[in-house]
Structure 1
């Protein structure tokens, strides 16, 4: 019960993480179309590769569903982690994708945008609705409900596999960022205790923009200017009344017949 409450608290705190995914779900196809196709047609293979890469290739750190499910640590992962991971991605594909997502979020301090949450929520609601229609058609035996359930199931499967491909492409791009493919140097491997999901402190922000008011070195940052660059030293001049200098311009000419 205590571990369940800790997991719920951890999930709620992800809303306040400061970093964002490098690419949102709507832009993953454009960002990496080749990997998106690979994740769509070979979803379990993609999930296996991403989980192993998220663990820095060290399978001794592997736990079933990354430690987020009640079965985690009880499936003999320490004896044959590769086989257990292959079983997870084939038999529990959705959980494997979601677990890798939580693993990256907790390690890299990443929160999901509202738009991405709406897309994932729509996928889940559509799946539940299709399941309920299937049950209702089975109970009533109505052909029209059966046809509606079949249509909803096709829609749900299409959305499910499409969104999962987008999520896995999003994870792959984020791992590229973490491993230094978009920057000068990769991140270091976290210590062993950081891979325990529920008792792990929130991850570092190495390679990610710091939150407002903080810096990577713990020193407070000055507040930013309101959309404008800081003025150069010595500008504006101390006294604006000295500009223009006296005599710099001739006096204005008055038209003929002008009365002062």
Structure 2
């Protein structure tokens, strides 16, 4: 069973390399893209992670699975009985996994790839964490005070990079998830600038048309990085 789960995760990782859509911004520009939200994600990371996951699930907590189904513990924590408590536990006790799981969930749903620059930043974060762990172990075994100070500095750097990357990941997910709350469906597509634009489809009951058929009012909100590309089109689709 564990081998099958590992194989499925590897296949998903390979599949993400073929995704064609990209985020509206990358990790290097996330702070400039939305500084207030970045600060909120930095100081209140678990609360922001909780809110973003709920939005990613379209506020339907019956769909919640621990770590969005990407970890071995997923589906084995009694999530169906009390999903709100399980999600709160996840974001506070496994914060990094909660942020990464929401990111993976959005990538798989909207076919969003990770840029090479983002991959390098994430890999550098993991490298610093492993280096800090190794240095701390060596310093503990050797008992050298200077090595302990070096290990402490590397550990501080690792924590700084970790919290910064996690907050930037949540900044990247925020604009997309604004449009999936309250039952709004989001469909991504590519535009010429190769940034992620998206259409928010919001349906509501409409009065009967002239043909006597019941219809629905559909608003297409086309969002793009360039304000000149933003359009709003109202159509009526008869059922």
TM bracket, shorter-chain basis: 0.7 to 0.9
Q: TM-score, normalised by structure 2?
A: 0.76
Q: In structure 1, the residue corresponding to 2:190 is in which secondary structure? A: coil
Q: Give, in whole Å, the separation in 2 of the partners of 1:100 and 1:89.
A: 11
What is the CA–CA distance in structure 2 between the aligned matches of 1:108 and 1:149, rounded to whole Å?
40
Q: Write the distance in 2 (CA, Å) between the matches of 1:157 and 1:123.
A: 9
Which gives a bigger RCO, structure 1 or 2 (Cα 8 Å, sep 6+)?
A: 1
Question: Is the 1:65–1:99 contact (alpha carbons within 8 Å) kept by the matching residues of 2?
Answer: yes
Report Cα offsets for 1:116-137 as digits up to 9, x if no partner: 1111111110011001000000
Aligned to 2:18: 16
CA deviations 1:4-63 (Å, max 9, x no partner) are: 211111111101100000111111111111111100000100110000110000000000
Structure 1 residue 179, shift from structure 2 partner: 3.7
Distance 1:147 1:108 in 2: 45
4+ aligned runs moved over 6 Å, structure 1: none
Deviations 1:211-255 (A, max 9, x none): 99xxxxxxxxxxxxxxxxxxxxxxxxxxxxxxxxxxxxxxxxxxx
Change (3 A) 1:75 1:179: closer
Contact (CA 8 Å) 1:123, 1:160: kept in 2 or not?
yes
* Alpha-carbon separation, structure 2, partners of 1:66 and 1:148: 37
Check whether the contact 1:23–1:173 (CA below 8 A) recurs between aligned residues: no
Structure 1, gaps ≥5 residues long = 181-185, 189-205, 213-260
Whichever structure has more strand as a proportion of its residues is 2
The counterpart of 2:80, out of the listed 78, 83, 89, is 78
Q: RMSD of the alignment, in Å? A: 1.9
